[in-house]
Amino acid sequence: MTGRPRPAIAALPAYRPGRSAAAAEADHGVVDAIKLASNELPFGPLPSVAGAIAAGIEHLHLYADHGASALRQALAAHVGVDLDQVAIGAGSAGILQQIVLAYVDTSEEVAMCWPSFEAYPVFAMLVEAEQIRVPLRDEVFDLPALAAAIGPQTKVAFVTNPNNPTGTVVGTDEIAAFLAAVPDTCLVVLDEAYNEFVDDPRVADSTPLLQQHANLVITRTFSKAHGLAGLRVGYAVGHRDAIAMIDRTLVPFAINELAQRAALASLAAVDEMRVRVAMVIEERARVRDALRTRGWTTPDPQGNFVWLPVGDVASDLGVALERHGVVARPFPDVGVRITISDRAGNDRFLAALDATGVSPR
Ligand code: PMP
């Protein structure tokens, strides 16, 4: 007997990361596969960030600062909030899990639109919460329907902007109306993991909403635009009382020394980060147009990925792309998500898509 694990954990599906290029190569006998399955940047760390990581190595015999005070301070200044309004976590996934642990008891409810980030249901199941899943409307978060689904037992509602996997956004005005409609007994988590890639003018800075809504927490990450997915740094911004509760669920020293140094250096190089993001946005428009020219339906992409809502051929299309050396992210019976890469990587995706022989839909 291996002890007595909680039944809820035994029933929990493991988080499903994007498949590696090596796995696709082994399965399909292809060489030089490219992974476009996890919405990673196609660039390595900026030189100043690599330097900061190298300089941190000699400190690795010591515990890092549990409170990540220097990073917290820099983020507070960057976002324009007080120091006690920022929590740092191990990736924004870490922060999202901390939020669910801090706020949701067994049998209480977590609300979201669906499909969305696949970790939300896992976190809900971890605490044995009920899930309220409101369907997207035309691939977009349906905020009026989500607001209507929130009841007295709903402790957390996720709003993902841009949404993963569809890449769609809702306007800041719509989020303001949603917050006005939601009771303040429900914490609204605005997941802005892909915020830096948004160029839709309907989306403005969401942080002013914090002034009117103490039940709003905004989460962001260094994994996407900052290109530091492997280091695990995310953060939450919100009311100091909410932040204090979120902080209590942080695993001791979860934000490691190299991660703290790299994130600080990346914040200091925000202009260079924006140049890279601009390249991704330009490539995203090119891929979107290329897809539409070929006859594919794809909603306006606002993250660093495109979405093909192909329904029941999603899994087959995912396998067919892998056979042509491109690892995308199929969501069975829903669609396929493909990360925007550099120009050469995107051209490989478009060529692979053509070569699959799957007709545009
Ligand atoms: N939110 C969304 C919507 C995501 O897509 C992801 C990663 N795929 C995350 C949060 C978590 O990213 P990380 O933990 O690397 O910050």
204-257 pLDDT, tens digit each: 999 999 999 999 999 999 999 999 999 999 999 999 999 999 999 999 999 999
Residue 113 · residue 163 · CB < 8 Å: yes
Q: Which residue ranges have their beta carbon within 6 Å of ligand 1?
A: 39, 91-93, 117, 160, 164, 191, 193, 221, 223, 229, 234
The residue whose CA has the least distance to atom 11 of ligand 1 is 93
Do 324 and 29 meet the contact criterion of CB atoms below 8 Å apart? no
d(CA 326, CA 320): 9
**Separation of CA 92 and ligand 1 centre (Å):** 6
Is residue 269 left, alpha or beta, with left meaning phi > 0 and alpha meaning psi from -120 to 50? alpha
Q: Burial of 57 by CB count in 10 Å (0-12 exposed, 13-18 middle, 19+ buried)?
A: exposed
Q: By percentage, how much of the chain surpasses pLDDT 70? A: 100
CATH of the domain spanning 7-44+271-355, picked from 3.90.1150.10, 3.30.230.10, 3.40.50.300, 3.90.79.10: 3.90.1150.10
Residue 233 to residue 210: CA distance in whole angstroms: 22
Strand partners for 93: none
For residue 160, the ligand 1 atom closest to its alpha carbon is 3
Q: Give CA–CA dist 157/167, Å, rounded.
A: 19
Radius of gyration of the chain (CA): 20
- Give Cβ neighbours of residue 251 (< 8 Å, ≥ 6 apart): 90
Q: Which of 158, 194, 221, 305 to mutate to test the pocket of ligand 1 (most atoms within 8 A of CB)?
A: 221
Ligand 1: centre distance to CA 4 (Å): 31
What letter does residue 332 receive in the DSSP assignment?
A: T
Tokens, residue 205: 């800075």
Note the pLDDT tens digit of each residue in 294-321.
Answer: 999 999 999 999 999 999 999 999 999 9
Decide if pLDDT at 325 tops 80: yes
Predicted model pTM: 0.98
Nearest atom (ligand 1) to Cα of 162: 3
Supply 223's token pair. Answer: 């994994």
Tell which CATH classification among 1.20.272.10, 1.10.10.10, 3.40.640.10, 3.40.50.2300 matches the domain 47-269: 3.40.640.10
Q: How far, in Å, from the CA of 294 to the mean position of ligand 1?
A: 30
Tens digits of residue pLDDT in 89-130: 999 999 999 999 999 999 999 999 999 999 999 999 999 999
Ordered by start, the domain boundaries in the chain are 7-44+271-355, 47-269
Distance 29 CA to ligand 1 centre (A): 31
CA distances from 154 to 104, 115, 131, 140, 144 (A): 9, 19, 9, 21, 15
Find the 220 Cα to ligand 1 centroid distance in Å. 8
Q: Look at the block and give the residue holding tokens 């476009």.
A: 36
d(CA 342, CA 360): 23
Closest by Cα among 167, 149, 165, 169 to 157? 149
Q: Which amino acid is located at 80 in the chain?
A: G
The alpha carbon of 92 is separated from its chain's Cα centroid by a whole number of angstroms, namely 7
Please give the distance, rounded to the nearest whole angstrom, from the Cα atom of residue 193 to the centre of ligand 1: 6
